[in-house]
Structure 1
Amino acid sequence: MPKVILPIANGYYESDSLPISAQECTNLYPNIAQAPALNQETLFGTPGLTQVASASELDNCRGAHEMNGVPYFLIGSHLYSMAEDYTLTTRSNVAIGGSGRVSMADNGTQLLLLVPGGAGYIYNHVANTFAQITDSDFTANGNPQQVVFIDGFFCLTTDTKKFIVSALNDGLAYNALDFGTAESDPDEIVAPIVFKNQLFIGGSQTIEAFQNIGGADFPFQRTGLFLSKGISSPFSIQSIQDTFVFVGAGANESPAIWALNGNSVAKISTTAIDKELSALTEAQILDIYSWAYAEKGAYFVGFALPGTTLVYDTISKRWHERKSFVDGALGAYRVNALVRAYNQLWAGDLVDGRVGLLGQNVYTEYNTEIRRTIVTQPFQSNMQSFVLPELELTVESGVGNSSAVDPKVGLERSVDGKIWSDARYRSIGKVGEYNRRVIWNRNGRASRFELFRFTMSEPVKPVFIQMTADIVATQ
């Protein structure tokens, strides 16, 4: 029987029942070629991290923002700017309260940092001043929760079903009469969204659109656009490519991940991801945060859950996971904020006060291994028993280097997605061994179906191109 090509780039899809699908795709992402190629669907490695700076505080990053080409990081209780030579400079002269994530927006001169339900702060980069917002009208309509900037105004949602705006181009001044409400549905207001210069007010079950009509009174008025899904995770909202995405739900619905699609929303999460979301507590759902970036033709948006980050590529429309080794254990992806400045991507850290540089040609995270894993879909031959005399994984060979002279990839087999065989390793080629083939012979017999798991951890360029196998039916 001739060799058959077996798909490896389906992405992440782990079913409630593992024999149906136990597909993993960790620290690798599906890439779909846009021209005829050796294989149209391949897997590329996710980028590594290089430390470039570290704050004096060892606390984690609580948010990052770019203003006028300069990246800013809230690390622990202080705001830092980072120069192009990686120098971190403290910009806050008082401790910023709280320990969780903050909401950030800027008007080109002022950067507003908002501790949800707590205090607000303004950093003015022209005057190099930092001040807490002390205007009593700042909290006259409830405690501000999230902030965006639109048309000269900072717009903040509060915990009283209202949203407020600052004075024009001044995040330190407020008027108690400058507030609005989302009136189409009486649900709680969760977060504001700005997309294509339009303001959306996200409630817990609905989203309503507003426009700036100008005038001396409150400037924003309802447009009539109403979306029947609300925001479940206020820090999950991201604008990417030509849409915005968020974790949300409608009335009597469990959370899913949605994207604006014209004047409606479309679900982008799979049932496997919906399963992961439904297993979380309400507090864990509220704590989900996201980041987004585009690189090498892919547009990624990542949603951080406890223990993993689920990442969607709006181009391939497939999902993968990102995880990190911290203190010897594989767990949550340590990047918790991303900002582009100086034509590079800078990462805030989940663990401590370091700032990292995301690098496609870096194959470790702060000199710690990146474990890359794929689990294939179940393969079967009309549910009849079969043997696999030969299985080949085509990779970019000959990528060995001084850190990994003879890098290897491991293969494990499973007939149920639960119990796995011992790994068998094959070389993917020392430096210059470009014709090295990665082949496993004598792969045993499967009574009905079989899954394969490939694992690679060495610091070399990871590209998985295709998987081929001899599948021979038996009695």
Structure 2
Amino acid sequence: MARIPLLGGAYQSRSLIAAAQRCVNLYPENNPKASSPPVPVTHYLTPGLRKVSQAPVVGRVRSAYRATNGDLYIVVNTTVYFVAEDYIWNDLGTVPTGSNPLSFADNGLVIVLVDGATGYAVDMETRDFAMISDPTFYGANKVDYLDTYFIFNRPGTPQFYISLSNVTFAMLTGTPGAAYAGTIIGGGAGYTDGAFTDVPLTDGAGTGLTVNLTIAGGIVTSAAINNAGSGYENGDILNSTSAAIGSGGITAGSITNGGSAYTDGTYHNVPLTGVAGTGAQATVVVSGGAVTSVTITAKGTGYAATNVLSAVAASIGGTGSGFSYMVSSVASGFSYRIDNVHGSAFDPLDIAGKTGSADNIVTVAAIHGELWLIGELTSEIWVNTGSADFTFGRVQGAFVDHGCAAAYSLAKQDVFLFWLTQDREGTAVIVKTTGYGVVRISTHAIEQDIQKYTTISDAIGYCHQIEGHAFYVLTFPSANRTWVYELSTGQWHERGSVDSNGVIMRHRANAFAFAYGKGYVGDSQNGALYVYDQNYYLDGDQPIPRIRTFPHVVGNGNRIEYKSFIADIEVGQSGGMMSDEPPMISLRWSNDRGATFGNPVMQSMGATGQYLVSPQWRRLGVARDRVFELSWSAPVRTSLNSAWIETEAAET
């Protein structure tokens, strides 16, 4: 009896006579030689999808994002949600209709998400949500973050552009020119003590700014914007002439002429007259017909130093003339500098283009401290050089003759980028980065399969890791197929879910994010939120089909009698999900080299605890070249080593 080895993953060659091996919802793991394993490779179950929550709306989960503060954000149809750890869905706002993913990035202060033509921001503290309003935001289908800058591709061009360093929600989303932060640069003196609201400020490039002021000891001690106005610029210096705080009120002066013929006495609340200001009053003392003392009792407003004032004779005895009083100081000196205005998240000069080739940038990626500009046909790498004119510059010689065929196929894992490429010679090759270059990771069989698809530009890629295995998952929505690459072995497998008719389709996962210590998956159809779970053996509540096709079994061109087939598979496990009946496994085979298969023949995988059951099939007929295929969907833990086969040569 010979063992049929299973040494790799999926490989269905262009010609089935070479290879016809399917590997669905199973991934191979190399066994360490030091442990003297019975086989070099064991196939394990891909993780199930355990449902943990349901979105408030039914539809496609377009994106999932874990912010740097640990929060989870989900986009379902057109709604953006913050999903708390207790699965409370908080509706933040809406984005345009579409089926494509949205790209997210954050700088610890604000999250930016883009969908192509438009962009949005989420304040990470308040979770306020708004559209990016800066006039120099040009749209993007991809945003990333590096060295305090947001980085965007400019759609339909070879250009990319960056935000200012450490931009905030207010900088991205406010009315252009509306002030939202400033500093008191002069508290002034002589103002009326108290708290004052809606105090208008003048000067600067804009209009309409009002503040709430606190004044103590005649000095402005705090200023808070309550109406941001519009049209201001960073650095504008503003002042106040508000009567409410006593701006221009008299704080000191002196008698320049006491006059004569006034009636001696002390006069209270004497109005001072003669200039543009108003409201000043004083206590006036007249002795020997001349004014000898003036004490300001009401400072008034609108005065200026060197103003010369007087008083009507009727206020100080009814006769006399010549009295004059010169203002030496008034309540003044408060000044306020605008530090930040809305719509100031970008410098219109902070834009650059690919220099190695003029093809349009499809997507961008920041990884390992470097910026990859991935175009339609070529790619190049830039770094932060610290240049004053534009902080990023190209790494000389770092040029890749491969572009991108699907913008959303790009995914990161560790120091690697993965994507579906195209170049001047062709398309539909999957690569990963290595240093300043890329290596092909797809097989001829997978490439041949992908090139059959009518549409590949809608491919969606993401990476996830479970039990030390890192996977790059690439789904083709239009083609209804999902291919998965396992990094440690370099092997591929298919991942698929069943529809209501039991037909295998693409995997249900449409978006992935690792948050709150779990790997979350969003459903492509119904708004369900799952976690990847290696000990859960269903996709939601649907069975998971497991299929492994074996290599050709031939006998030097002669016909072979296949006397028995025994599956070397783990049995007797329940996984906590098994019914009273033992799980079943089926075998079918092809006598025409994998072109067509017969009907499946079922066998028991043993009840719980029956660890030594060997699913086997006998008297399997005669053929020259046979391909066997095992399949099962039992919700229990299994793993597949290989199979034994007993054959006997026939006469011809």
The answer on whether the counterparts of 2:60 and 2:99 sit within 8 Å (CA) in structure 1 is no
Q: 1:449 aligns with which of 614, 619, 625?
A: 625
Aligned counterparts, 1:360-379, within 5 A: 360-379=534-553
CA deviation string 1:42-75 (max 9, x = no partner) = 1111111122111222121111110121221111
Q: Distance in 2 between matches of 1:267 and 1:76?
A: 34
Q: Distance in 2 between matches of 1:369 and 1:404?
A: 17
Aligned residue for 1:235, secondary structure, equals helix
The answer on whether the counterparts of 1:257 and 1:267 sit within 8 Å (CA) in structure 2 is yes
Question: Which structure would you say has the larger RCO, counting Cα contacts within 8 Å and 6 or more residues apart?
Answer: 1
Q: Distance in 2 between matches of 1:393 and 1:302?
A: 29
CA deviation string 1:211-256 (max 9, x = no partner) = 1012432110011211111111111111224421110022121220
CA deviation string 1:342-382 (max 9, x = no partner) = 22110011012111111111111111111111111212122
Query: What is the count of residue pairs matched by the alignment?
Result: 465
CA deviation string 1:299-323 (max 9, x = no partner) = 1101102211100001111100011
Match of 1:4 in 2: 2
Match of 2:86 in 1: 85
Match of 1:425 in 2: 602
Aligned residue for 1:169, secondary structure, equals coil
Aligned residue for 2:596, secondary structure, equals coil
Q: Distance in 2 between matches of 1:156 and 1:122?
A: 14
Match of 1:199 in 2: 371
Offset of residue 16 of structure 1: 1.9
Match of 1:102 in 2: 102
1:264 corresponds to which letter in structure 2? Answer: G
The answer on whether the counterparts of 1:376 and 1:451 sit within 8 Å (CA) in structure 2 is yes
Match of 1:411 in 2: 587
Q: Structure 1 230/340 Cα, relative in aligned 2: closer, same or farther at 3 Å?
A: same
Aligned counterparts, 1:48-197, within 5 A: 48-67=48-67, 68-92=69-93, 94-116=94-116, 118-139=117-138, 143-158=139-154, 159-170=156-167, 172=172, 173-197=345-369
The answer on whether the counterparts of 1:53 and 1:88 sit within 8 Å (CA) in structure 2 is no
Offset of residue 294 of structure 1: 1.4
Aligned residue for 1:272, secondary structure, equals helix
The ranges of structure 1 where at least 4 consecutive aligned residues each deviate by more than 6 angstroms after the TM superposition are: none
1:380 corresponds to which letter in structure 2? Answer: V
Q: 1:345 aligns with which of 507, 519, 522?
A: 519
Offset of residue 101 of structure 1: 1.6
Match of 2:443 in 1: 270
Aligned residue for 1:274, secondary structure, equals helix
Offset of residue 87 of structure 1: 2.0
Aligned residue for 1:286, secondary structure, equals coil
After superposition, the CA RMSD in angstroms is 1.5
The answer on whether the counterparts of 2:465 and 2:471 sit within 8 Å (CA) in structure 1 is yes
Query: What are the ranges of 5 or more consecutive residues in structure 2 without an aligned counterpart?
Result: 173-344
CA deviation string 1:405-429 (max 9, x = no partner) = 3011100010221221221111111
1:201 corresponds to which letter in structure 2? Answer: L
The answer on whether the counterparts of 1:138 and 1:175 sit within 8 Å (CA) in structure 2 is no
Offset of residue 111 of structure 1: 1.3
CA deviation string 1:82-114 (max 9, x = no partner) = 22222222222x444544221111112211110
Offset of residue 453 of structure 1: 0.9
The answer on whether the counterparts of 1:335 and 1:348 sit within 8 Å (CA) in structure 2 is yes
Identity percentage of aligned residues: 28
Matched, 1:286 2:478: no
Matched, 1:33 2:206: no
The answer on whether the counterparts of 1:394 and 1:464 sit within 8 Å (CA) in structure 2 is yes
CA deviation string 1:436-459 (max 9, x = no partner) = 11111111111x211001110121
1:419 corresponds to which letter in structure 2? Answer: T
Deviates more, 1:168-177 or 1:387-396: 168-177
Offset of residue 124 of structure 1: 1.1
The answer on whether the counterparts of 1:70 and 1:83 sit within 8 Å (CA) in structure 2 is yes
Aligned residue for 1:137, secondary structure, equals coil
Which of these two proteins has the greater Rg computed from alpha carbons?
Answer: 2
Matched, 1:438 2:612: no
Q: Distance in 2 between matches of 1:384 and 1:334?
A: 44
Matched, 1:383 2:557: yes
Aligned residue for 2:456, secondary structure, equals helix
Q: Distance in 2 between matches of 1:110 and 1:326?
A: 39
Q: Distance in 1 between matches of 2:121 and 2:487?
A: 34
CA deviation string 1:12-57 (max 9, x = no partner) = 1112222322211111111111243232211111111122111222
Q: Distance in 2 between matches of 1:48 and 1:280?
A: 27
Q: 1:313 aligns with which of 486, 490, 498?
A: 486
Q: 1:463 aligns with which of 611, 622, 639?
A: 639
Q: Distance in 2 between matches of 1:97 and 1:388?
A: 57
Q: Distance in 2 between matches of 1:106 and 1:347?
A: 21
2:149 corresponds to which letter in structure 1? Answer: F
1:15 corresponds to which letter in structure 2? Answer: S
Offset of residue 384 of structure 1: 1.8
The answer on whether the counterparts of 1:324 and 1:333 sit within 8 Å (CA) in structure 2 is yes
The answer on whether the counterparts of 2:61 and 2:77 sit within 8 Å (CA) in structure 1 is yes
CA deviation string 1:254-284 (max 9, x = no partner) = 2200111223211100001111221223xx2
Q: Distance in 2 between matches of 1:202 and 1:169?
A: 25
The answer on whether the counterparts of 1:77 and 1:99 sit within 8 Å (CA) in structure 2 is no
Matched, 1:398 2:568: no
Q: 2:408 aligns with which of 210, 223, 235?
A: 235
2:434 corresponds to which letter in structure 1? Answer: N
Q: Distance in 2 between matches of 1:138 and 1:97?
A: 20
Q: Distance in 2 between matches of 1:144 and 1:65?
A: 17
The answer on whether the counterparts of 1:13 and 1:272 sit within 8 Å (CA) in structure 2 is yes
